[in-house]
Structure 1
Amino acid sequence: MEGRSGKYIAQLFLEYYYDNDKDILDSIHERDTKVELYNHHKSPTEKELSRGPGANIAKINIPKAGEYTLWDLAGHPENYVTHNMFLRTDDTVFILVIKITDKEQEQEEQLNVCLAAIKSLILKSIEESKSKPTVIFVASGADLVENQRRPLVEVAYAAICKRALERFGKYLNILDENFILDFRKPQHKDMDKLRECLKLGKNEKHIPNLCKKILDAKERWLNSGFPIMKWDAYADKVKEVVDLPDEETRKKSTRALHNLGEIVQIESTRPDGNAIIVLDLQWCSRIIGSMLAAEVVVPYSKQLPKKKMYSSSDLKDVLRGFTDINLLIDLFKELELLFETNEGTEIRYIIPGLLDTNMPITQWKPNATKTICYGRRFQCRDETDSFSPGLFPRLQVRLQRHFREMNRSTADIWKNGIKICHKVEALVYMTKGWRAIHVCVRAEKEGDIQKCYKMLETVTHDVYSVINVTCPGTNIETHILSAHSLRNQRDPENFGYYPLQSIIEAEQKNGKVFHEKENKAEEIGNLLCIGYDSTVIRNLKYHSDVKWMLSDTLEKFSAQMDIKSRDGQIRDDEINSDYEAMADLMGINKDEIIAWKKKCSSLTKCLLSEWSRRWTKRKPSGASPTEDQTMYESTFTNLLKILQEKFCPTDHTVVIIKKMFRNLGI
């Protein structure tokens, strides 16, 4: 942005663990698009972590490439939870830096991790901007390769880059040219080529004129001493600057200012959707940095020690000098960096990103009384997908908030898990390698199945919601956890699971799915919450079995049908003739129904249950019923056919069934 006149300046994001990361910046910077220097990393040493956390912002100029806003993002793991707050990836060039002296397998793994991380962060922006970000591969350490070995090294590195292109070329604009550089030689011709490549990702833009007026006014807004605004308040301030700018113009201008590093717009996690506008980025970076600084980071005079809970005085000691501490704590809650809990009469704070203890496997040991078990697994679809390291800490904060809203407090929390125990026991667990999340619930009584399902749905919603914020480009698959594993295994890493498609295919056959590792067949009805889970109905629609009828629909339908069974009858040993004929088509005779009168609170519930049981028992694997079968298959299609034949198409019972499907969008 030239004198705030509207010229577009691109962003350069820098994430580092190694000193040579800044060597490349120094070399390029002998000096309008956005460039991200995105480095793969290993576990950092104390020296490598000596730079501060947070995000340092500066304007730089790269020769032959242009002017950039430099975002120097800290690379230590504790800070990952904040990256999605700052990163915007429209029209971006990423420079991926690895070490040419590493083993070839390590180099390939490093590129795959980097590319999957980029894809996870940027896909939403790609969809919005209709453009792919550019990726340039750079290897450092050219000076460490012997001349006689250089041709072999170049061939091997080119092959690694080619395979990476084949995997990720669908999602990213990966340049064919790759570089092996000596960062000590900024004038080298290869460094000039790299600068030229930066311009290949160039996409000239001009920011809205409103941006200049907002920036001029921002200095006045900062005098409040707390440079944070909710979107509504910010929008009102903008209206004072320009007469009635429309909402779209405000959003476009705000996004441009975010990309310029002048402000940060953080989307809200609350239902009201009121975004947060940060007017002073360095201020925001300093307070977040001081909160999340690892113990080996030296720029801050005080850091939080790594422990499970922090008192108000712990936080105040670290944040002393930053305006109102209570306002800051509220901000950290909104950003999902921490949550509060009660320890006796004192309020304590938990910062999931600083937890360093993994869940003991004794936390989910077999329990003879808790035999009602259900679970789901959300895993990365393939090698191009990954979960952001910042995903699980934010998910833990989100879950704890919702648990409290459900009047269920957290029983315990670890780096890779969170658990509650309140009538039903629930565990949310991140597997090793951060490739899958397990959601497990168990209870003692069948009457708690609804509570189990509600818990599963709450966690599932939060999982998808947080993934959409922290790694929107990650594709995930849903699997169903084995109930047998949940009852008998203590280590969540060993839980068996079934792909959702296998569940649906098995339901179409004999209602059982076989797990080879467990060497055991399980009934689908024991894996999904019958009466509440609509998975089968949504997939098979009217061809699904009547046992999957949702509980509220079953209650209304049974009440109407039970009236029909008695219509016109007085004696206990009699039943309505139409009801009798209907039951006969289900393979159930009058005498059986009369016998149920003495033990069933609802004849219709017994009728549907027995119809489903008998059909499942007799249904041959993979076979379809023939037209001459006297017993109808227990599907909703046939139930409606029977009802319309024995009663009428507009009968209230027909309306009840069809309404259930309409409510499910079918």
Structure 2
Amino acid sequence: MEQSGGVKVDRIKLCFCGPQEAGKSTLVETLQTGSFVAIFRDRMTPDDQPHEPTPGVNVGATKIPGVGQVSVWDFAGQSEYAVTHSMFMDAENTIFIVLYNIMVDPETQKKEVHWWLCFIKSCNTKSKPYVILVASHGDQTDTGRQQASVILQLMTSTFKDHLDISDEVFLLDCRKTRKTDMRRLKDLLARLKTKLLEHQRAIPKLCAEIMKCLPTWAKEKCSPKCPVLRWAEYKEAVMEMMGIEQLVNEDFLKTSSQYLAHLGEILFVSTPAEPIVILKPNWLCTDVFGKVMAPENFPIQHLRTSKDIVTKEEIQNVFQDVADVDLLITLLQEFQLCHTFDGQEFIIPGLLTQTMPPEKWVKTENPAKTVYFGRQVQCADTTDMFSSAFFPRVQTRLMRELKNRPLLWRDGAKCFDSNVESLIKLSPDGRAVNICVRSEQGDKPSCRQMLRKIEIILNNVLDEVSPGTATKERVLSARALREHREEIYSYSRDQINKAKAEDRIVHHDILGFSEDVDDLLYGGRDGDEEEQGAVGYTVQQTFNLVYGSGNVISSGDHARFDMATIVQGDLGQLQLEGNGPRDQGQPQLEGNVPGDLEQLQLEE
């Protein structure tokens, strides 16, 4: 197998984003139209063309005249689909085109464009993604260009440190090809593509060979309704292509396949048993996710929940023409979209509809003895948001990693562990998560363990699905929690640190009372333990993380465990040196670390 050298691929990724009915799919079709066909298309396209919504993400490779080969990702505008969108919003080799309807009221325009730009930012950390703002329905207004200019100036100013937004104003009739702004848009895409290709990573030569074979493999080596290969089948296809009987370096094939996944040519799914390779991303994004996450009124067959539960039989009925039900369930579990406790009933957090009833969190029977502690993780500024996948994945991880089955609602989760119960609640605006733990028996150590376990889950999920989101942590008022006030009251870290340096008393200006710092931070002084919240967990011992390839990453005392730093992308499962992964490949934590944290196993 040729491992040295590399090739550049003359293709970039175009992501079309924006609210529903903004004209994304129409623009994709128009951009692909050649000049000769455009003469007839522009004349024959009706003004009242019916809207056909996109289910999930429509993915495909195409050629845009004047731009060249591109990989197109047309994202549905319905909010329900945003739960899966974040999986495919990587900015590497990508241009984001954000559309909005110039005919809706200006405040709605600003709100929708701001939401999508926050979403793009939340999914990316390494670079400032290229973004083009496009106002659609330009044929219906004579004053739209001025409004589009206002939107552009506002968003450029707001996101100047995070996104590279083009300074060109585009006001389009997305149906018309031979218009000045459409030509200008193609010219800009061509220039940006040239810039991206200058910095594009060379991919292994093996990738180029595999890319040529993907259409044939999808037809000849897969079920007609399911373009998926298990790892053994994929390896066999590669060896047949290369005319060899055995791979010299299987890890190199995995790395090459991950490059192809970054390009959008395939989807590479790591599972505890073996990887799964999806040869047609559009099958997963449209035929699977499109049906799983479809809104109630969407004009396709899709899942419906009964008491927020989906049965295996219901999944079979919806997807019998799309995929083998067991393979489908495996994929949904690996993408952390669902969980099952019995193999027959499945909870898909992204489909939950019920909000938390107030009676699920009331005062205990022994309020005098009950102890409360809490944290708040909130978005740092107006350009930050938790991606739509964040809270549903938190709920999936709670089901996977906690000993007892939690209660789940669309906006919250209630967890139980021996003498402790906890409430994780998403704020109404979705910009903060409040964690409250309490023990009616006054069990402060168990409260501390539960709080830390939940913080680590939140932290790891943020790294996975919302890595570009900057957050700040606050400490919830224990007294306000004990009194069950409707509003959330908290202290900043600066307030806490100042109180610790002085008399250990912190005063709340709004509530008009003071609290002892020791009643807020994990239940008391602990001299041999550093306090750190959702931004990281401090482990006071040396441990080794063994990655699947055998590379050992050593970390010394007081190391911060950060999953995203250690494993970028879907590079596989962390494994223990001398131990196999448990609980579907999730790393474990054992030994004398408080809380029996099931995230990482420490090597003594």
TM-score normalized by structure 2?
Answer: 0.74
CA, structure 1 residues 287+487, in 2 after alignment: closer, same or farther (shift >3 Å)? same
Aligned to 2:516: 523
Return the match for 1:223 from 221, 229, 235.
Answer: 221
8 Å CA contact 2:25, 2:74 repeated in 1: no
8 Å CA contact 1:295, 1:306 repeated in 2: no
The offset of 1:536, in angstroms, is: 8.4
Aligned to 1:383: 382
8 Å CA contact 1:418, 1:427 repeated in 2: yes
CA, structure 1 residues 216+534, in 2 after alignment: closer, same or farther (shift >3 Å)? farther
Aligned to 1:119: 121
2:316 alignment partner AA: K
Aligned to 1:41: none
8 Å CA contact 1:293, 1:304 repeated in 2: no
CA, structure 1 residues 513+290, in 2 after alignment: closer, same or farther (shift >3 Å)? same
Aligned to 2:32: 29
Whose relative contact order is higher, 1 or 2, with alpha carbons under 8 Å and at least 6 apart? 2
Which has the larger displacement, 187-196 or 203-212?
A: 203-212
Aligned to 1:190: 181
The offset of 1:248, in angstroms, is: 7.7
8 Å CA contact 1:430, 1:438 repeated in 2: yes
- Aligned mates of 2:135, 2:476 — CA distance in 1: 42
The offset of 1:384, in angstroms, is: 1.0
1:223 alignment partner AA: K
Aligned to 2:313: 313
The answer on 1:71 being equivalent to 2:73 is: yes
CA, structure 1 residues 99+534, in 2 after alignment: closer, same or farther (shift >3 Å)? farther
- Aligned mates of 2:528, 2:25 — CA distance in 1: 51
The answer on 1:331 being equivalent to 2:334 is: no
Aligned to 2:423: 427
Aligned to 1:495: 488
- Aligned mates of 1:20, 1:467 — CA distance in 2: 31
Return the match for 2:257 from 254, 257, 267.
Answer: 254
8 Å CA contact 1:365, 1:490 repeated in 2: no
Deviations 1:541-572 (A, max 9, x none): xxxxxxxxx999xxxxxxxxxxxxxxxxxxxx
Q: Between Structure 1 and Structure 2, whose CA radius of gyration is higher?
A: 1
Aligned to 1:569: none
The offset of 1:315, in angstroms, is: 2.0
Aligned to 1:290: 291
1:466 alignment partner AA: V
CA, structure 1 residues 7+444, in 2 after alignment: closer, same or farther (shift >3 Å)? closer
8 Å CA contact 2:21, 2:53 repeated in 1: no
Deviations 1:608-641 (A, max 9, x none): xxxxxxxxxxxxxxxxxxxxxxxxxxxxxxxxxx
The answer on 1:91 being equivalent to 2:93 is: yes
Higher percent of residues as helix? 1
8 Å CA contact 1:101, 1:145 repeated in 2: yes
The offset of 1:479, in angstroms, is: 1.0
The offset of 1:274, in angstroms, is: 7.1
Return the match for 2:348 from 344, 351, 356.
Answer: 351
Deviations 1:90-137 (A, max 9, x none): 1322122122233333333233222111111122xxx2xxx4321112
Return the match for 2:499 from 494, 506, 509.
Answer: 506
The offset of 1:382, in angstroms, is: 0.2
CA, structure 1 residues 376+419, in 2 after alignment: closer, same or farther (shift >3 Å)? same
8 Å CA contact 1:84, 1:469 repeated in 2: no
The answer on 1:175 being equivalent to 2:160 is: no
Aligned positions of 1:446-525 closer than 5 A: 446=442, 448-489=443-484, 491=486, 494-525=487-518
Aligned positions of 1:15-164 closer than 5 A: 15=17, 17-18=20-21, 20-30=23-33, 51-123=53-125, 127=126, 131-146=127-142, 150=143, 154-164=145-155
Aligned to 2:364: 367
Q: Matched residue of 1:506: which SS?
A: helix
The offset of 1:443, in angstroms, is: 0.3
8 Å CA contact 2:504, 2:516 repeated in 1: yes
CA, structure 1 residues 536+121, in 2 after alignment: closer, same or farther (shift >3 Å)? same
2:470 alignment partner AA: N
- Aligned mates of 1:306, 1:500 — CA distance in 2: 43
Aligned to 1:392: 391
1:419 alignment partner AA: K
The offset of 1:212, in angstroms, is: 3.3
- Aligned mates of 2:504, 2:230 — CA distance in 1: 52
- Aligned mates of 1:477, 1:316 — CA distance in 2: 43
8 Å CA contact 1:295, 1:305 repeated in 2: no
The answer on 1:199 being equivalent to 2:190 is: yes
The number of residues matched between the two structures is: 499
2:395 alignment partner AA: Q
Q: Matched residue of 1:122: which SS?
A: coil
Calculate percent identity across the aligned residue pairs.
Answer: 30
- Aligned mates of 1:441, 1:274 — CA distance in 2: 38
- Aligned mates of 1:232, 1:520 — CA distance in 2: 65
8 Å CA contact 1:61, 1:67 repeated in 2: yes
CA, structure 1 residues 144+534, in 2 after alignment: closer, same or farther (shift >3 Å)? farther
CA, structure 1 residues 231+442, in 2 after alignment: closer, same or farther (shift >3 Å)? farther
8 Å CA contact 1:337, 1:352 repeated in 2: yes
Deviations 1:225-273 (A, max 9, x none): 46556779867975786676767854553244224433113466xxx79
Return the match for 2:267 from 240, 264, 269.
Answer: 264
The offset of 1:533, in angstroms, is: 6.8
| Aligned-CA RMSD value | 3.4
Deviations 1:418-449 (A, max 9, x none): 11234211111111111011111100223x22
8 Å CA contact 1:101, 1:144 repeated in 2: yes
8 Å CA contact 1:239, 1:245 repeated in 2: no
* Structure 1: 5+ residue stretches without partners: 32-46, 540-549, 553-666
- Aligned mates of 1:178, 1:25 — CA distance in 2: 18
- Aligned mates of 2:266, 2:523 — CA distance in 1: 49
The offset of 1:217, in angstroms, is: 6.0
The answer on 1:214 being equivalent to 2:210 is: yes
2:13 alignment partner AA: Q
The offset of 1:18, in angstroms, is: 0.3
8 Å CA contact 2:89, 2:120 repeated in 1: no
CA, structure 1 residues 145+288, in 2 after alignment: closer, same or farther (shift >3 Å)? closer
CA, structure 1 residues 58+376, in 2 after alignment: closer, same or farther (shift >3 Å)? same
- Aligned mates of 1:267, 1:382 — CA distance in 2: 34
CA, structure 1 residues 297+513, in 2 after alignment: closer, same or farther (shift >3 Å)? same
1:295 alignment partner AA: E
1:132 alignment partner AA: K
Aligned to 1:592: none
The offset of 1:62, in angstroms, is: 1.7
TM-score normalized by structure 1?
Answer: 0.68
8 Å CA contact 1:13, 1:73 repeated in 2: yes
- Aligned mates of 2:346, 2:530 — CA distance in 1: 43
2:493 alignment partner AA: L
The offset of 1:77, in angstroms, is: 2.7
The offset of 1:461, in angstroms, is: 1.0
The offset of 1:174, in angstroms, is: 1.4
The offset of 1:416, in angstroms, is: 0.6
1:325 alignment partner AA: V
